[in-house]
Amino acid sequence: MEVRLNTPVTPELCRELKPDAIVAALGAVTAAPPIPGIRGENVKTAVEVFAEPGLARGKTAILGAGTTGLELAIYLASLGREVRILEMRSAREAASGASTYAMQLEKYGLRVEYGVKALEILPDGVRVSADGEETVLPCDTVVNALGMTPLWDEADALRFCAPEFHQVGDCLKSRNLMATTSEAWTAARNIGCC
């Protein structure tokens, strides 16, 4: 068996290797909604900040109160960082995952600000709309925790590069680690069975 790290799997590589089966577990990339300034220097993705918490400098605003945004807020607060969690949906619409994290949020003095929509990211804050009024919330760092976009096109490019193809994990649909691992195990177990 050969293991190749840091090697993009492309149709060209597949033609060279002639695999019997492909398990596409390519993942997803951070979604970038059309918010002016979303690609600014003061904007980081949740993935980047989890990997390197020092990227969240000064006051940090996290856009998105899903599992990722909440866990990141708790993590940063545990490091002594000042964090705000902004969620454009109402608590009811968001199906409040915050209740799962209520004790940890309370421990660090965090609260989700529901009904706050980011309109623009500025170098020194976020222009938001809340309760029909616009205001600028000052911050030094903005973290995009607004979801992930599956790498469907990249997976589809490999679909016919081997007699057997399995698409698993976040490149199929973003979800939790347990579901993804189970799906990958099932695909690996079934290789060559059909």
User: Which tops the pLDDT comparison, 72 or 175?
Assistant: 72
**32 band by pLDDT with thresholds 50, 70 and 90:** confident
Give the per-residue pLDDT at 70: 94
* Chain Cα centroid distance, residue 94: 16
Residues 6+ apart with CB under 8 A from 97: 65, 66, 67, 70
Query: Which domains are seen in the chain, by residue range?
Result: 11-28+149-190 (no CATH), 32-146 (3.50.50.60)
Name which residue leads in pLDDT, 96 or 16: 16
pLDDT at 111: 93
Residues in the chain: 194
The overall pTM is greater than 0.85: no
pLDDT confidence of residue 124: 96
Q: Is the pLDDT of residue 170 over 90?
A: no
Query: Which pLDDT tens digit goes with each residue over 56-88?
Result: 999 999 999 988 999 999 999 999 999 999 999
* Dihedral pair phi/psi, residue 123, rounded to 5°: -60, -25
**Which tens digit of pLDDT belongs to each residue from 97-153?**
677 888 999 999 999 999 999 999 999 999 999 999 999 999 999 999 998 889 999
Is residue 194 very low, low, confident or very high in pLDDT (cuts 50, 70, 90)?
A: low
How is 151-169 classified by DSSP, letter by letter?
Answer: -HHHHHTTTTSSSEEEE-G
Max CA-CA distance within the chain?
A: 60
pLDDT at 171: 86
